[in-house]
């Protein structure tokens, strides 16, 4: 820490000198007025402010953001914004007259309700993350129990995601694969 | 082989008489023979074996990509599908018959009557020239093919070529294993098949090949820094510009990619050479296409490329100055000043250009990609096309299946190993997926990126798993190998104990991966067969006993037009059918699919939605002889003109405020039964669709006049036509053609019962006519 404190001393001395130097040579009228009016009796605190530097985020941070936008796009968020379908559909039972919810918009391939889109998008992302977990499980520099849990979580994610996606598409399009 | 056997037998015969050393010699000779018959003794080294496997896989994938697109040719016949391909076919026919100069300078007076269309300057010639070249080459080799066969099979041929380019691209980004998987995935991916099936003779068929080729050549140029590859990518860009309007995607993605490389600090001489050469030469070549013209320097959509071009020069300049200067502080100050100046000058130039009007703003088609709500409010023609609707999750699933899981996994692998090439494919994938979410049609552009990234995921995962499976001998030497750094950054997969369990687990996972890929293949084939192989011009349905019934009404109607109307007859219909009528019916049309003149289309829309007498005035001013409508009430066909009618009202009302959409709706609902709006029940479209329909019983147990497409009984069954007469109705009532009657010879309508009171009747009729025309005097506007 010593070099830093030295720098601080140097910076305080130099800052005082620097603060004196431009004030004596400045031709900015507003600066001169400010120097007289509040700051002749108010003492500004010594702050160490830096111009914020722009550092690039790490690749994995960017990957997390990308995954989030992928989830939104694949859930059909543009369709939701433009066509404005209801969150969940409803149908009236002919016999009893009660209103039952319908999750999947029937009849068309290019149509959806909001919740149906979001749940399918979640399944896709879960499948992707499952494969990523399986790759993480093969990394050497982890404890064995962690690797085992990553591998099992990855495999179950992929299996569940695939089965649910198949189920969803079969509900939506009854004639699928027949 | 017989010659070979005999000496062995001879040796064996002689050997059996001798002692055992000869017998063993005979045995070794026999085993040599057996070995020479097996593959191993072809003495192939591992490299050559690998080459053989790769080449055979690529050949199989090439044939597969061609074969899977042939469903409709086998089911129906070799014909052109849809609407747009008919125009492309007609222009290709013209090109092969009249030659290139006639084609380039062609003014077509048979469409958009009375305006005509400058065909040479308003189309992208790449597709037509490609098909014509293939036709001329085959003719030169004395294969007497018809141009229609060449047109039908152009798209599958280029799809096969795309798989080859995908292989090389995958090899460039990752390794050859990923390239092979990418080729196999893209060969059967439904997102690509939907627009490149045999018979779909449309620009996208060759454009996707050109797109992938340009991207591959550019990435190769950036990786190698060679001028030759950069020039090749410029020529690939030229081919893309000549083929499709989607070249705007390339000219915006590549500058964006260069910008990202500059931001992440990957500026290098290779990038400089590649981008400069590609931009300058590509831009000059693109200006050779008349339809594009000077847009590369005048249009707002192309300004990003120019901005990045100048930014690259600034970077090079700064690099050179840094090389000259030895003082870093001075250089920092110089850097700050230069960057500020450059950005300031660029902003001022852009502002001046836009304000003075020299740089035109983004056109509606591309602006609606950035702001998807724009088209719905402002441009109904763009919003009405069904392919331009935003995408729902099920469309993604239909077109991609497993690739939707593999895409994020592939992105992870790309982010783990960032190189210039992987950054490119990540950007291509992300931007194209966003655009695919905005418009269904653009799933096509996203397909190569999704296939490539998924191929990376598949290749990396299977490589990991096979490393586990083959790790049986390395368990002993794991201690020594730990010291050495392995090829990939994190050494993989060698756990000390539980060795066989891990190996079995890896085998199970491999089988699981192959199972998923086989389900992908099944899905793709099913989707291709059921959904994407229908030639919209021929409809099919399942009959009561499960047999397939074919409705060929469209072609029936067009050929009736061709054979039963005078050659200079003009046909008015909605713009969807214009290309087909010109190509197959060979008659002049008023509006067609090019939709370049919104006012002309609005005039037709106004005619369709007005009362019969007003519509007759409009039709007389346009010289219309026949009117064609499509009606699906008898067959239950749901893409007919009554279902499209509200778009006619909206487009007509957009130009002529006298047409108001609420007039045709009841409580915001669109109905055609008894409760429909009175204007709806008497407009021209309703009358032409339902003329004589009230007498027809369409379904057992329902009243006559039951519309099967809307599911209701129509409201106005007693329709009388005053100015038109029915000319032809196809066998399933799908297409109905009406003849416009010439105006009356005398002012009288003819039902004056002998007309004894001639003179006062004459004056009364004249005043009635003046009164009527004064109410509709605004019709004169569309003559200008």
- Contact residues, chain A, for B412 at CB < 8 Å: 63, 128, 131-132, 135
Task: Give strand pairing partners of B736.
Answer: B629, B729
> What's the pLDDT score for residue B699?
82
> What's the pLDDT score for residue B762?
63
The answer to whether A173 contacts B464, with C-beta atoms less than 8 Å apart, is no
Q: Which of residues 329-388 of B touch A (CB under 8 A)?
A: 372-373, 376
- Contact residues, chain B, for A125 at CB < 8 Å: 408
Helices and strands in chain A, H and E counts: 6, 2
In degrees to the nearest 10, what's the CA dihedral of B393, B398, B403, B407? -20
| Averaged pLDDT score across all residues of chain B | 86
The answer to whether B492 contacts A69, with C-beta atoms less than 8 Å apart, is no
Is B413 a residue whose pLDDT tops 80?
A: yes
pLDDT tens for each residue of B52-101: 999 999 999 999 999 999 999 998 889 999 888 999 999 999 999 999 99
Name which residue leads in pLDDT, B167 or B75: B167
Confidence of residue B777 (pLDDT cuts 50, 70, 90): low
Q: Which residue among B372, B413, B505 sits closest to A78, beta carbon to beta carbon?
A: B372
> What's the pLDDT score for residue B747?
62
Please provide residue B630's backbone torsions phi and psi, each rounded to the nearest 5 degrees.
Answer: -110, 130
From B78's Cα to the closest Cα of chain A, the distance in A is: 26
User: Which candidate, B66, B257, B277, places its Cα nearest to that of B153?
Assistant: B66
| CA–CA gap between residue A111 and residue A83 (Å, rounded) | 9
Token pair 């053989």 is found at: B52
Is B6 a residue whose pLDDT tops 60?
A: no
Section B234-247 average pLDDT: 95
Residues near B404 by Cβ (< 8 Å), separated by ≥ 6? Answer: A74, A124, A127, A165, B396, B397
Q: For residue B117, give both structure tokens.
A: 């269309």
Whether chain A has a CB inside 8 Å of the CB on B264: the answer is: yes
| CA–CA gap between residue A104 and residue A176 (Å, rounded) | 15
Instruction: Quote the percentage of chain A above a pLDDT of 90.
Output: 42
Task: For the beta carbon of residue B351, count every other beta carbon within 10 angstroms.
Answer: 11
Confidence of residue B477 (pLDDT cuts 50, 70, 90): very low
> What's the pLDDT score for residue A21?
43
Section B342-366 average pLDDT: 85
* B329 CA to centre of own chain: 54
Confidence of residue B181 (pLDDT cuts 50, 70, 90): very high
Q: Which of residues 48-107 of A touch B (CB under 8 A)?
A: 56, 59-60, 62-63, 66-67, 69-70, 73-79, 81-83
> What's the pLDDT score for residue B354?
86
> What's the pLDDT score for residue B60?
97
Q: Which of residues 8-37 of B touch A (CB under 8 A)?
A: none
Name which residue leads in pLDDT, A146 or B209: B209
> What's the pLDDT score for residue B11?
42
pLDDT tens for each residue of A12-24: 444 444 444 445 5
- Contact residues, chain B, for A139 at CB < 8 Å: 490, 492
Specify whether the CB–CB gap between B251 and B202 falls below 8 A: no
From B373's Cα to the closest Cα of chain A, the distance in A is: 6
> What's the pLDDT score for residue B35?
59
Among the listed ranges A122-131, B331-340, B563-572, which one has the minimum average pLDDT value? B331-340
Q: Which of residues 428-467 of B touch A (CB under 8 A)?
A: 430, 433-434, 436-438, 440, 457, 460-461, 464
- ipTM for the predicted complex comes to 0.79
Is B476 a residue whose pLDDT tops 60?
A: no
The answer to whether A59 contacts B415, with C-beta atoms less than 8 Å apart, is yes
> What's the pLDDT score for residue B715?
85
Task: For the beta carbon of residue B268, count every other beta carbon within 10 angstroms.
Answer: 14
pLDDT tens for each residue of B651-680: 999 899 999 888 898 888 888 888 888 888
- Contact residues, chain B, for A138 at CB < 8 Å: 464, 468, 492-493
- Contact residues, chain A, for B407 at CB < 8 Å: 70, 128
| CA–CA gap between residue B405 and residue B398 (Å, rounded) | 13
The answer to whether A162 contacts B434, with C-beta atoms less than 8 Å apart, is no
Confidence of residue B473 (pLDDT cuts 50, 70, 90): low
Please provide residue B324's backbone torsions phi and psi, each rounded to the nearest 5 degrees.
Answer: -80, -45
The answer to whether A109 contacts B492, with C-beta atoms less than 8 Å apart, is no
pLDDT tens for each residue of B479-490: 444 434 333 434
| CA–CA gap between residue B765 and residue B751 (Å, rounded) | 13
Q: At what angle do helices B641-655 and B598-609 cross, to 10 degrees?
A: 120
From A90's Cα to the closest Cα of chain B, the distance in A is: 19
Residues near A174 by Cβ (< 8 Å), separated by ≥ 6? Answer: none
Section B511-540 average pLDDT: 92
Q: Which of residues 498-517 of B touch A (CB under 8 A)?
A: 505, 509, 516
Task: For the beta carbon of residue B417, count every other beta carbon within 10 angstroms.
Answer: 15
Sign, Cα dihedral of B665, B666, B671, B672: negative
Confidence of residue B19 (pLDDT cuts 50, 70, 90): low
For an interface test with B, give the residue of A119, A135, A144 to mutate (most B CBs within 10 A). A135
User: Which candidate, B118, B53, B156, places its Cα nearest to that of B293?
Assistant: B118
Among the listed ranges A139-153, B84-98, B183-197, B400-414, which one has the minimum average pLDDT value? A139-153
* B239 CA to centre of own chain: 16
3-state secondary structure of B738: strand
Alpha carbons within 13 A on the beta-carbon side of B619: 29
The answer to whether A76 contacts B390, with C-beta atoms less than 8 Å apart, is yes
pLDDT tens for each residue of B689-741: 999 998 888 888 888 888 888 888 888 888 889 899 999 999 999 999 999 99
- Contact residues, chain B, for A169 at CB < 8 Å: 394, 397-398
From A18's Cα to the closest Cα of chain B, the distance in A is: 18
Confidence of residue B309 (pLDDT cuts 50, 70, 90): very high
Is B390 a residue whose pLDDT tops 80?
A: yes
Q: Which of residues 384-403 of B touch A (CB under 8 A)?
A: 389-398, 402
Q: pTM of the prediction? A: 0.82
> What's the pLDDT score for residue B38?
57
* B512 CA to centre of own chain: 33
| CA–CA gap between residue B559 and residue B553 (Å, rounded) | 10
Preceding omega of B452 cis (within 30 degrees of 0):
no
């Amino acid at each position: 820490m010593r070099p830093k404190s030295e720098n601080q001393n140097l910076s305080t001395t130099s800052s005082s000198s620097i603060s004196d130097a431009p004030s004596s040579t400045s031709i900015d009228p507003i600066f001169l007025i400010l120097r007289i009016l509040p700051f002749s009796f108010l003492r500004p605190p010594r702050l160490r402010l830096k111009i914020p530097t722009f550092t690039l985020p790490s690749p994995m941070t960017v990957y997390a953001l990308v995954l989030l936008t992928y989830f939104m796009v694949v859930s059909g968020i543009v369709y939701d914004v433009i066509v404005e379908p209801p969150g969940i559909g409803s149908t009236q039972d002919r016999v009893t007259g009660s209103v039952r919810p319908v999750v999947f918009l029937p009849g068309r391939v290019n149509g959806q309700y909001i919740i149906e889109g979001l749940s399918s998008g979640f399944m896709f992302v879960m499948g992707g993350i499952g494969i990523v977990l399986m790759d993480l499980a093969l990394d050497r520099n982890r404890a064995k129990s962690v690797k085992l849990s990553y591998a099992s979580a990855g495999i179950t994610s992929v299996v569940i995601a695939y089965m649910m996606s198949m189920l969803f598409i079969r509900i939506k399009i009854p004639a699928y694969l027949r | 082989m017989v010659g070979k056997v005999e000496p062995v037998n001879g040796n064996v015969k002689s050997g059996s008489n001798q002692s055992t050393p000869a017998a063993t010699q005979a045995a070794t000779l026999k085993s040599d023979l057996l070995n020479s018959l097996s593959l191993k003794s072809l003495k192939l080294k591992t490299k050559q074996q690998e080459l053989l496997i790769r080449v055979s896989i690529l050949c199989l994938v090439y044939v597969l990509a061609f074969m899977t697109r042939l469903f409709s040719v086998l089911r129906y016949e070799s014909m052109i599908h849809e609407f747009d391909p008919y125009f492309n076919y007609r222009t290709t026919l013209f090109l092969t018959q009249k030659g290139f100069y006639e084609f380039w300078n062609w003014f077509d007076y048979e469409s958009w009557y009375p305006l005509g269309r400058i065909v040479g300057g308003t189309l992208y010639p790449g597709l037509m020239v490609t098909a014509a070249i293939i036709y001329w080459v085959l003719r030169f080799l004395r294969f007497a093919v018809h141009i229609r066969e060449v047109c039908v099979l152009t798209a599958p041929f280029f799809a096969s070529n795309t798989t080859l380019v995908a292989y090389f691209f995958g090899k460039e980004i990752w390794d050859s294993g990923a390239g092979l998987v990418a080729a196999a995935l893209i060969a059967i991916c439904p997102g690509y098949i939907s627009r490149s099936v045999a018979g779909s003779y449309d620009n996208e068929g060759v454009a996707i090949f050109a797109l992938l080729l340009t991207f591959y050549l550019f990435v190769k140029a950036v990786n190698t820094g060679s001028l030759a590859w950069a020039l090749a990518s410029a020529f690939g860009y030229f081919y893309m510009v000549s083929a499709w309007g989607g070249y705007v995607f390339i000219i915006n993605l590549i500058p964006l990619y260069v910008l990202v490389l500059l931001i992440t600090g990957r500026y290098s001489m290779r990038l400089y050479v590649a981008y400069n050469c590609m931009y300058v030469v590509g831009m000059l070549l693109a200006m050779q296409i008349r339809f594009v013209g000077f847009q590369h320097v005048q249009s707002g959509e192309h300004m990003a490329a120019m901005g990045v071009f100048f930014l690259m020069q600034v970077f090079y300049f700064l690099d050179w100055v840094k090389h000259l200067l030895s003082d870093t502080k001075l250089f920092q100050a110089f850097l700050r000043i230069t960057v500020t100046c450059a950005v300031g000058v660029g902003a001022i130039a852009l502002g001046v250009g836009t304000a003075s009007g020299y740089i035109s703003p983004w056109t509606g088609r591309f602006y609606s990609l950035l702001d998807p709500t724009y088209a719905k409010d402002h441009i109904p023609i763009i919003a009405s096309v069904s392919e331009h609707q935003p995408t729902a999750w099920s469309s993604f699933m239909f077109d991609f299946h497993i690739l939707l899981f593999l895409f994020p996994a592939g992105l992870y692998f790309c982010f783990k190993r960032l190189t210039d090439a992987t950054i490119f494919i990540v950007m291509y994938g992300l931007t194209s997926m966003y655009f695919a979410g905005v418009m269904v049609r653009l799933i096509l552009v996203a397909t190569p990126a999704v296939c490539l990234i998924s191929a990376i995921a598949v290749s990396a995962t299977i490589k990991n798993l096979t490393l586990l499976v083959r790790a049986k001998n390395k368990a002993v030497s794991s201690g020594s190998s730990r010291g050495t750094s392995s090829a990939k950054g994190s050494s993989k997969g060698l756990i000390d104990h539980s060795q066989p369990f891990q190996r079995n687990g890896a085998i199970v996972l491999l089988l699981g991966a192959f199972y998923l890929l086989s389900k992908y293949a099944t899905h793709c084939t099913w989707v291709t067969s059921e959904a994407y192989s229908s030639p919209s011009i021929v409809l099919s349905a399942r009959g009561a006993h499960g047999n397939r019934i074919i409705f060929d009404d469209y072609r029936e109607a067009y050929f009736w037009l061709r054979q039963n109307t005078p050659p200079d007859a003009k046909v008015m219909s909605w713009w969807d059918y214009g290309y087909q009528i010109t190509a197959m019916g060979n008659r002049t049309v008023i509006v067609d699919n090019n939709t370049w003149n919104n006012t002309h289309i609005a005039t037709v829309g106004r005619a369709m939605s007005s009362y019969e007498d007003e519509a007759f005035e409009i039709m007389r001013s346009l010289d219309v002889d026949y009117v064609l409508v499509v009606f699906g009430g008898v067959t239950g066909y749901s893409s007919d003109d009554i279902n499209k009618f509200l778009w006619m009202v909206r487009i007509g009302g957009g130009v002529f405020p006298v047409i108001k959409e609420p007039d045709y709706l009841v409580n915001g609902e669109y109905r055609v039964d008894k409760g429909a709006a009175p204007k709806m029940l008497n407009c021209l479209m309703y009358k032409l669709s339902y003329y004589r329909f009230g007498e027809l019983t369409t379904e057992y147990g329902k009243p006559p006049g039951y519309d099967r497409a809307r599911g209701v009984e129509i409201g106005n069954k007693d329709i009388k036509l005053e100015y038109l007469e029915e000319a032809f109705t196809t066998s399933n009532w799908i297409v109905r053609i009406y003849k416009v009657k010439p105006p009356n010879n005398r002012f009288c309508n003819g039902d004056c019962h002998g007309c004894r009171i001639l003179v006062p009747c004459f004056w009364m009729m004249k005043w009635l006519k003046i009164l009527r025309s004064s109410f509709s005097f605004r019709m004169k506007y569309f003559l200008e």
